[in-house]
Amino acid sequence: MDISDIATQDYVSVDAEKRMGKVRSLFEEENPKGIIVTHAGGAEFEGVITQKQLLSSHIEDDTRVSSLTNPSSHSVPKLDRTENVRDVARKLVEGNTKVAPVFEADQLWGVVTEDLILEAVLDNLDALTVDQIFSEDIVTIDEDANIGTVINRLRENSISRLPVLDEDGFLTGIVTVHDLVDFIVRDVDKTTRGDRRGEMERLLDLPVYDVMSSPVTTIHPGDSVEDAVRTMLDDDIAGLVVTPEDDERVVGGILTKTDVLRALSYTEEERMDVQITNIDLLDTIGREDVREGIEDITQKYSDMHVQHAHVRFHEHKERLRGTPLIYCQIRLRTNKGQAAGTGEGYGADNALNLALDHLERNVLELKGIQADEEYKGQLLRKLNEL
């Protein structure tokens, strides 16, 4: 299946010479997955602006839109109408975007979004269960934290949602980038320009429970991915909290639309399938170096089979002699369970090596825990034979 029947010409766009205040108004009025930025009277593609960019940007309303889109346009995939859905799903994941431009004969034709892809493949998702693809490695926030802390945690981890926990560690709500953008834009727009700085400081000090959603829409590990996606599409949400069937107050993980897209692009290659989010941040290394680094670790354990590997890079503003500080997260889905490693260093190669070291320690720990469980099982069998 290619995207010629999925892509749409119905999208929200803005000229690169417009001001950022216009972008904020469009997000509030249209609620798009992303805004396409064009120039030359709408004929030429400039970039994409997302809600996450809007939240992390300190750019004033009177700043030109082009100042925000130039850096991001390099990582946004530029798709041809004849590309197949599987390749497009991979490109959206690796470009860390929910919307991408579609071209025909080098001319901007329309866009494709994650929702359009998921709607097209919905009936084929009943064979997958949530426990096969959801993320166990999650970040949470306490319900007494303020909005400023929430924004920093979202930025630091390059994520779009945080489950909110009470003092006993039980799930009480969830806060997303969409919630924050909607809340902040709505409240700041009520003030005059001179009062906005003080109003923003007041908003950042408000508790998270003023903006979080509650109750939380949840899903269980054994539920089908088809049911999960239908819920996300029907409720217009991008993720679900995964909870055990016997206690929906306990957070077991997160399932997002991006997790489903990632699963769609799994390959049947003999070699390990590796997806890299923000692949444009690779400088002195390539995809093959990333793959080999992971294989060097996993091949040490012959009974461990990696079903899929996801590597995410995130660039911080801090630099050392021109080299950016990079955060790297590696997540493996194996026949022995999930394993992850993170690292932060100047340059993608340094960050990757630190993440690989962390990953190997975690793989060793995972193997040790399983060895202990196997020993306990053998001991119990012997005791039963007495």
Res 374: pLDDT = 46
> Spelled out in words, what is the top-level CATH class assigned to the domain 266-378?
alpha beta
Which position has the token pair 């709607």? Answer: 119
Res 174: pLDDT = 95
Which position has the token pair 């923000």? Answer: 278
Which position has the token pair 């082009």? Answer: 66
pLDDT along the chain (386 residues), means of 10: 85 88 84 83 80 68 77 69 88 85 87 92 88 87 91 84 93 90 63 55 84 92 94 93 90 92 69 79 88 87 78 90 92 82 94 94 72 45 46
Cβ-contact 301, 323 below 8 angstroms? no
Could you tell me the two tokens for 154? 């979202």
- Residues 6 or more apart whose CB falls under 8 angstroms from that of 164 comprise 140, 141, 142, 143, 171, 172, 173, 174, 175, 208, 209, 212, 214
For 145, list phi and psi in degrees, rounded to 5. Answer: -70, 155
Res 375: pLDDT = 41
Encoded amino acid at 270, one letter: E
Collapse the DSSP code of 192 into the 3-class scheme (helix H, G, I; strand E, B; otherwise coil) and give the result. coil
Query: How many CB atoms within 10 Å of residue 227?
Result: 15
- CB neighbour class for 271 (10 Å; exposed up to 12, middle 13-18, buried from 19): exposed
Res 383: pLDDT = 43
Could you tell me the two tokens for 142? 């306490």
Query: How many CB atoms within 10 Å of residue 177?
Result: 22
Nearest to 107 by CA among 145, 80, 136, 67: 80
* Secondary structure E strands in the chain: 13-15, 35-39, 44-49, 79-80, 99-104, 107-113, 141-142, 161-165, 171-176, 218-219, 239-242, 253-256, 274-277, 306-320, 323-334, 337-346
Could you tell me the two tokens for 162? 């945080």
Query: How many CB atoms within 10 Å of residue 262?
Result: 24
Collapse the DSSP code of 99 into the 3-class scheme (helix H, G, I; strand E, B; otherwise coil) and give the result. strand
**What whole-number distance in Å separates Cα of residue 153 and Cα of residue 175?**
11
DSSP 217: P
Angle of helix 196-204 versus helix 177-188 axis, rounded to 10:
140
Q: Model's pTM, two decimal places? A: 0.72
Strand-pairing partners, residue 314, are: 327
Res 267: pLDDT = 55
DSSP β-ladder status, 79-80 and 99-104: parallel
Angle of helix 114-121 versus helix 225-235 axis, rounded to 10:
130
Res 301: pLDDT = 76
Strand-pairing partners, residue 175, are: 162
Per-domain residue ranges for the chain?
3-112, 130-261, 266-378
Domain 130-261 shares a fold with domain 266-378: no
Res 199: pLDDT = 63
Long-range contact set of residues 135-139: C-beta below 8 Å, sequence gap at least 24 = 135/253, 135/254, 135/255, 135/256, 135/259, 135/331, 136/252, 136/253, 136/338, 137/253, 137/331, 137/338, 137/340, 138/163, 138/251, 138/253, 138/254
Angle of helix 147-157 versus helix 196-204 axis, rounded to 10:
80
Fold of 130-261: CBS-domain (3.10.580)
Q: What is the CATH number of domain 3-112?
A: 3.10.580.10
* Secondary structure E strands in 27-75: 35-39, 44-49
